[in-house]
Structure 1
Amino acid sequence: MMHMTFYWGKKVTLLFDFWKTDSWTSYTLTLLACLIFAVFYQYMEEGRQRFKLISSLSAKKGFAGANSVPPPSQPSRINAPLLYSLPTVGGRRYAARFAGAVLFGVNSAIGYMLMLAIMSFNAGVLIAIVVGLSVGYLHFRSGGEEDVVVVDNPCACA
């Protein structure tokens, strides 16, 4: 029977029927696997965000390289990522968006698997995943301010 409250113990069924722990060795290896997957999740998230930033910067460079002002057929718009999309340059923009979507899908799948692992309600699994996410964030995503993108827009709602 599945636990509905957090519990401490070495007997855990994690994600699949065949992933059952019954000894301290298998439980420790399971916690280590949860920790590693949580760190990997943060690594993938950092890579996905960096890829998105690089692809958007390269698209802007390609757009600005052709001519410094937007084409006359397009009205002047606010330069905000969610409100303005750059034109496709030779299909590269589509390829970058597709690769970003694939990375997003993989990262979402890992995140949902971690969430389902926590829903085993084993306190050790919860702690291992939270520690893994924290270590991964510290190692991969708590860089300097060079990763921050600022959009200059006087409108508070954008």
Structure 2
Amino acid sequence: METTSHHGFGAFNGTGDGHMRHRRMMMHMSFYWGHKAEVLFSGWPGTSSVMYPLALAFVFVLAVLVEWLSHCNIIKPGTNNLAVGLMQTAMYTVRSGLDYMVMLAVMSFNGGVFLAVVGGRAVGFLVFGSRAFRKTSGSASGSDHAPSDLPPMKC
């Protein structure tokens, strides 16, 4: 009978001699290029040439969503303060969770994932945070932009 330790470091061979077999798992500690990566979930995206671009698209969309949540204005003025507080808390929680997922994806140390995240944050900021797509009334100060529902993220 072979049992794997809960840490995944090895398994007893069941012969009673105390020898352990070790599974070898490659974990990169510097950036590398290639489609053979594990991003966010064990075994994902795998070695399929189709799944790696899907993983890149997934982290790109996560990064865009983080930027959208950082700059969105969906709470109507005059809403009950308790309801606003609950909405802001829910939005903050979702934004934090997505941001941590983006951070964990980058920690795969895959160059493509890193570029997808940076590109997603850039596109998200361009669309939701910059003046490029903002409707302005012609004021020079730019004060016609309502503040977002959430405070800015800080390091």
Where on the TM-score scale, by shorter chain, does this alignment land: which range? 0.5 to 0.7
Q: Structure 2-normalised TM-score?
A: 0.65
Aligned partner of 1:131 in structure 2 is 119
Corresponding pairs, count? 112
Alignment equivalent of 1:112, drawn from 76, 88, 100:
100
Greater RCO, 1 or 2 (C-alpha within 8 Å, sep 6+): 1
| Map 1:8-157 → 2, pairs under 5 A | 8-47=33-72, 50-51=73-74, 55=77, 58=78, 92-143=80-131, 144=134, 145=142, 146-147=144-145
* 3-state SS, counterpart of residue 44 of structure 1: helix
Between the two proteins, what is the percent identity of the paired residues? 36
Q: Structure 1-normalised TM-score?
A: 0.64
The one-letter code of the counterpart of 1:34 is: V
Deviations 1:40-89 (A, max 9, x none): 22112222xx247x55xx37xxxxxxxxxxxxxxxxxxxxxxxxxxxxxx
Alignment equivalent of 1:2, drawn from 27, 34, 37:
27
Q: Which whole-Å CA distance do the structure 2 matches of 1:116 and 1:21 have between them?
A: 17
Note if contact 1:39-1:136 (Cα within 8 Å) is conserved in structure 2. yes
Note if contact 1:40-1:136 (Cα within 8 Å) is conserved in structure 2. yes
Deviations 1:129-155 (A, max 9, x none): 100110011011113522266xxxxxx
Note if contact 2:45-2:55 (Cα within 8 Å) is conserved in structure 1. no
The one-letter code of the counterpart of 1:23 is: S
* 3-state SS, counterpart of residue 50 of structure 2: helix
5+ long unaligned stretches in structure 2: 1-25, 135-141, 148-155
Runs of 4+ in 1 over 4 A off after TM superposition: none
5+ long unaligned stretches in structure 1: 60-91, 150-158
Note if contact 1:51-1:100 (Cα within 8 Å) is conserved in structure 2. no
Aligned partner of 1:69 in structure 2 is none
Superposition RMSD in Å: 1.9
